[in-house]
């Protein structure tokens, strides 16, 4: 049995509608049930539009007929049953058009367990490719998702120099598709609006579902905030051609800044603002995950910093010689200020989050190929 996911409709709850010792009023409980269904079924953006290959050392070109794998970490919701991947192509070498270059076709694959969703984008024919990924099982939590791209001919990645753009740009956006209805069970947590009408008894299972919705820590999560990913694997083999690298113990930012000729000397990070969950909240927490590895006998250390609070988190480390996700870094950042027109706290400035890395032991090289920030 399912219940519909409805849009939010303005409703006024008056003091007289909430009294002890009298029948429960319809617009109190029915409103709560409808709101729970709306929030659970709304879908979320897991990866905001993210340019692949951004800021890789050198040109970041694809070799012909070689599969390049891009890895991301996201926080999935239990109600999601499918995800949509949207790939955007812009060929600036052809004068800034929004079509693929004539030289290559692109094979894009989204693996899902034992199933792979593979599409071929014909040369010069489309500017956008969509892949709908059906999820084999519903799950919630910190999860890795990946996609791979191979080109039939050499792909010249976008290079930015001042106001000049040359090469081809590929970006990806991923979101969980909104649900038109929810099952009334412990997975979907669909609330039966019909059972909370005036004059109807509230059944125990209905109350349980509403209570479970109220207790959820994921129902208001926004999804993904920022991602950066370059291939750590090319042709099935680990590659260091595109990763950030370091051989010093001095922490340096991983984010790329223009011009994209190599790792940045300085960077201020990216703006971030999380939802306000509680009336007195002034901050919230995001998770930072980094994909990295080392050459022999070295230690990679990664930390996050924020501008508004001046916070520097404790570093997480790895000595793995193959690409691996480091432990999540819980980082405190500003939440929305509902008393201001733009939602920003303080003097109308965003909190800025930066992710830094360093080699803190050994004599080898440390590498980073992806960052994911989500709540």
Q: For residues 203 and 193, what is the distance between their CA atoms, to the nearest angstrom? A: 12
Quote the percentage of the chain above a pLDDT of 70.
73
Identify the H or E element spanning 373. Answer: strand 366-374
Residues 339, 344, 345, 349, Cα dihedral to 10°: -150
Domains of the chain: residue spans and CATH: 2-42+180-215 (no CATH), 45-176 (2.60.120), 243-374 (2.60.120)
Residue with the larger pLDDT of the pair 176 and 42: 176
- Taking residue 211's Cβ as centre, other Cβ atoms within 10 Å add up to 9
Q: For residues 80 and 183, what is the distance between their CA atoms, to the nearest angstrom? A: 12
Per-residue pLDDT, 19: 43
Q: For residues 131 and 129, what is the distance between their CA atoms, to the nearest angstrom? A: 7
Q: Each residue of 258-288: pLDDT tens digit? A: 344 444 444 567 888 998 888 888 998 999 9
- Average pLDDT score over residue span 41-57: 77
Written as six digits, the tokens of 347 are 């003097």
- Average pLDDT score over residue span 175-194: 84
pLDDT band (50, 70, 90) for residue 253:
confident
Q: For residues 281 and 275, what is the distance between their CA atoms, to the nearest angstrom? A: 10
Written as six digits, the tokens of 214 are 């109220």
pLDDT band (50, 70, 90) for residue 6:
low
Q: What is the SS3 assignment for 39?
A: helix
Per-residue pLDDT, 45: 93
Helices (DSSP H) in the chain: which residue ranges?
A: 26-41, 204-215
Q: For residues 122 and 144, what is the distance between their CA atoms, to the nearest angstrom? A: 28
Q: What is the SS3 assignment for 323?
A: coil
Predicted model pTM: 0.84
- Residue 180: CB partners within 8 Å, gap ≥ 6? 4, 5, 41
Q: Are 228 and 202 in contact (CB under 8 A)?
A: no
pLDDT band (50, 70, 90) for residue 304:
very high
Identify the H or E element spanning 313. Answer: none
CA 373 from centroid of its chain's CA atoms:
6
Checking if the pLDDT of 257 tops 80, the result is no
pLDDT band (50, 70, 90) for residue 163:
low
Q: Are 293 and 318 in contact (CB under 8 A)?
A: yes
- Residue 46: CB partners within 8 Å, gap ≥ 6? 72, 74, 75, 76, 83, 145, 174, 175, 176, 223, 224, 374
Q: Which of 232-241, 261-270, 300-309, 353-362 has the lowest mean pLDDT?
A: 261-270
Per-residue pLDDT, 259: 40
Q: Each residue of 103-125: pLDDT tens digit? A: 567 788 898 766 677 777 665 55
- Average pLDDT score over residue span 321-335: 95
Q: Which of 30-44, 151-165, 308-322, 326-340 has the highest mean pLDDT?
A: 326-340
Checking if the pLDDT of 335 tops 70, the result is yes
Largest pairwise CA distance in the chain = 75
Per-residue pLDDT, 269: 79
Residue with the larger pLDDT of the pair 117 and 363: 363
Written as six digits, the tokens of 34 are 């409808």
Q: Which of 3-7, 185-189, 220-224, 343-347 has the lowest mean pLDDT?
A: 3-7
Mean pLDDT value across the chain: 78
Characterise 262 by phi-psi region: left (phi > 0), alpha (psi -120 to 50), beta (else). left
Q: For residues 228 and 51, what is the distance between their CA atoms, to the nearest angstrom? A: 8
Using alpha carbons, list the distances in angstroms from residue 271 to 335, 356, 370.
12, 16, 18
Per-residue pLDDT, 96: 47
């Amino acid at each position: 049995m399912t219940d519909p996911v409805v849009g939010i409709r303005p409703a006024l709850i008056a003091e007289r509608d909430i009294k002890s010792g009298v029948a429960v009023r319809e617009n109190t409980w029915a409103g709560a049930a409808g709101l729970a269904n709306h929030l659970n079924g709304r879908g979320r953006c897991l990866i905001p539009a993210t340019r692949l290959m951004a800021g890789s050392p050198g040109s970041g070109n694809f070799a012909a007929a070689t599969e390049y794998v891009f890895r991301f970490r996201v926080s999935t919701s239990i109600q999601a049953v499918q995800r949509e991947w949207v790939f955007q192509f812009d060929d600036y070498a052809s004068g800034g058009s929004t079509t693929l270059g004539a030289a290559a076709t692109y094979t894009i694959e989204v693996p899902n367990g034992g199933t792979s969703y593979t599409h071929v984008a014909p040369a010069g024919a489309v500017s956008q490719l969509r892949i709908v990924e059906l999820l084999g099982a519903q799950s919630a939590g910190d999860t890795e998702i990946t996609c791979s791209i191979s080109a039939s001919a050499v792909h010249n990645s976008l290079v930015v120099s001042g106001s000049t753009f040359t090469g081809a740009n590929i970006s990806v956006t991923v979101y969980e598709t909104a649900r038109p209805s929810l099952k009334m069970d412990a997975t979907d947590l669909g609330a039966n609006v019909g059972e909370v009408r005036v004059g109807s008894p509230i059944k125990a299972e209905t109350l349980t579902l509403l209570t479970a919705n109220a207790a959820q820590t994921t129902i208001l999560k926004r999804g993904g905030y920022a991602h950066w990913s370059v291939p750590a694997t090319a042709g099935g083999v680990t590659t260091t051609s595109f990763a950030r690298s370091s051989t010093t113990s001095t922490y340096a930012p991983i984010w790329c800044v223009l011009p994209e000729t190599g790792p940045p000397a300085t960077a201020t990070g990216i703006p971030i603002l999380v939802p306000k969950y509680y009336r007195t909240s002034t901050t919230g927490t995001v998770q930072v995950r980094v994909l990295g590895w080392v050459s022999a006998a070295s230690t990679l250390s990664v930390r996050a910093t924020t501008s508004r609070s001046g916070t520097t988190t404790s570093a997480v480390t790895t000595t793995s010689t193959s690409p691996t996700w480091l432990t999540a870094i819980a980082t405190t950042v500003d939440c929305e200020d509902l008393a201001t027109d733009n939602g920003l706290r303080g003097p109308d400035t965003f909190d800025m989050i930066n992710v830094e890395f360093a080699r803190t032991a050994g004599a080898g090289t440390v590498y980073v190929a992806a960052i994911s920030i989500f709540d």
